[in-house]
Amino acid sequence: MSVEVSRDAKAAAAQALYQALATGDAHALGQLLAPDFVGHAAQGLPLDMGGTHVGAEAMRANLWWRIGEHFKARAEAADFQTLEDGRLLVIGTYRGTARRSKAQLDAAFVHILSFDDQGRIATLTQLTDTAAWRAALDGDERLQTIDYRVEDGLATVCLNRPDHRNAINLRLAEEFLDVARRVAADPTVRALLICGNGPALTVGGDIGYFLDNKGQGYSALFEKMIAPYHETFDILSRLHVPIVTAAHGAVAGGGLGFIYAADLVVAADDARFVTAFAAIGLSGDGGGTYHLPRLIGPRRAAQAYLRNTPISAQEALDWGLVNEIVPASEVRDRATALARELAQGPTVAYGTMRNLLRESWNNDLPRQLEGELRGTKTTGDTRDAASAIAAFAERHTASFEGA
């Protein structure tokens, strides 16, 4: 930092920065930022944009370009003040719209900039109204049936109709699809946790909603609901990050899809799994006729469907439907801890593993071996593999960055 750079020069540099960001001028940014630039973005920003970004490239990739991807906005400075230590304080407002929701963004900001002796920006500390950013991202159609957040690489999708035991209506099905698309589009996500608020993960389809909307005919109603619901599971099956589900209380009907979608399932000791379709004269959705025979065997799956036989938590563990059982009071914490552990792992390798395991059902052995070779070559080129192999040789624990 240098106090020799005039206030006007600093203000001009700040304005040039805002202009370069508004127009996406990477060349101008390169000239404005010092080689050892460090940015500090407000904690609590959506899309995992908050935190410290070391280097101009990290700031561009993790904050500025991510803003550009999801928002059409610019920083409008209203006041420039020189602090006693020579840094420049800028007060202003981010104005624009969110690209997906089209909602207005109007978020106050304070920037504190320091400069090197050549007048280049050495550090930028950002404070802003993070709630305004989140509100614009969700728009008028804010999520009503799902709590969704991304923190430290972990995306959490929590069903949030506790008074209805998270029964699935059209809005939940559509919001589930919206959230899945967000997860798939967010490069910061390195693991996904699925859980439910209230006494149960989900009792499946909302019978009350079915009755209230039967005027359009059940066939048309189910098509409208199931199409986005199934599209979501297709998206989840192709994610390149591991999925953990916390199962508690009743898990029924199409809600079993949340179990099938997961790589790992932590079940509460009170969990009870039941297809429920035969009881209401339906054939079933949520992927159960595909997944359940593969997970617990065709005879058990037939009994679960045809006789509507419930599966206890212990049976689910013994048969391979879940990975572990914990007391009901601990299930959310245990599943969260497991998901956080995976979020710190070799993300590219996890994604490749998921693909290989999924494709194995349709491959013969030679094709699967070819896939494993391709996968090993792909993961072998990652920074995570290089650092982990070196760490193994040096007999210390590897630290993964997900790339």
Structural domain containing residue 196: 141-344
Per-residue confidence band for 266, with pLDDT thresholds at 50, 70 and 90: very high
85-106 pLDDT, tens digit each: 999 999 999 999 998 888 889 9
- Within this chain, do residues 162 and 247 fall inside the same structural domain, yes or no? yes
The verdict on 318 and 367 lying in the same domain is: no
Residue 111 belongs to a domain: yes
Q: How far apart are CA 149 and CA 44, in angstroms?
A: 10
State how far the Cα of 49 lies from the Cα of 63, in Å rounded to an integer: 5
Per the structure, how many domains does the chain have? 3
Does some domain include residue 1?
Answer: no
Asked if residue 277 has pLDDT above 70, the reply is yes
CATH for 152 = 3.90.226.10
- Specify whether 182 is located in the same domain as 194: yes
pLDDT digits (tens, 9 = 90+) for 130-171: 878 988 887 755 688 999 988 889 999 999 999 999 999 998
Same domain, 101 and 161: no
- Check whether residue 265 and residue 147 sit in a common domain: yes
DSSP one-letter string for 333-371 = HHHHHHHHHHHTS-HHHHHHHHHHHHHTTT--HHHHHHH
CA atoms within 13 A on the CB side of 272: 10
Place 249 in a pLDDT band, splitting at 50, 70 and 90.
very high
Residue 3 pLDDT level (bands cut at 50, 70, 90): very low
Mean pLDDT of 196-224: 91
Tens digit of each residue's pLDDT (9 = 90 or more) over 4-14: 678 899 999 99
- Residue 1 confidence (pLDDT) above 60: no
- Domain-ending residue, one of 122, 137, 152: 137
Residue 64's pLDDT is: 94
Do 76 and 118 lie in one domain? The reply is yes
pTM: 0.69
Q: Which residues contact 386 (CB under 8 A, 6 or more apart)?
A: none
Euclidean distance between CA atoms 375 and 383, whole angstroms? 15
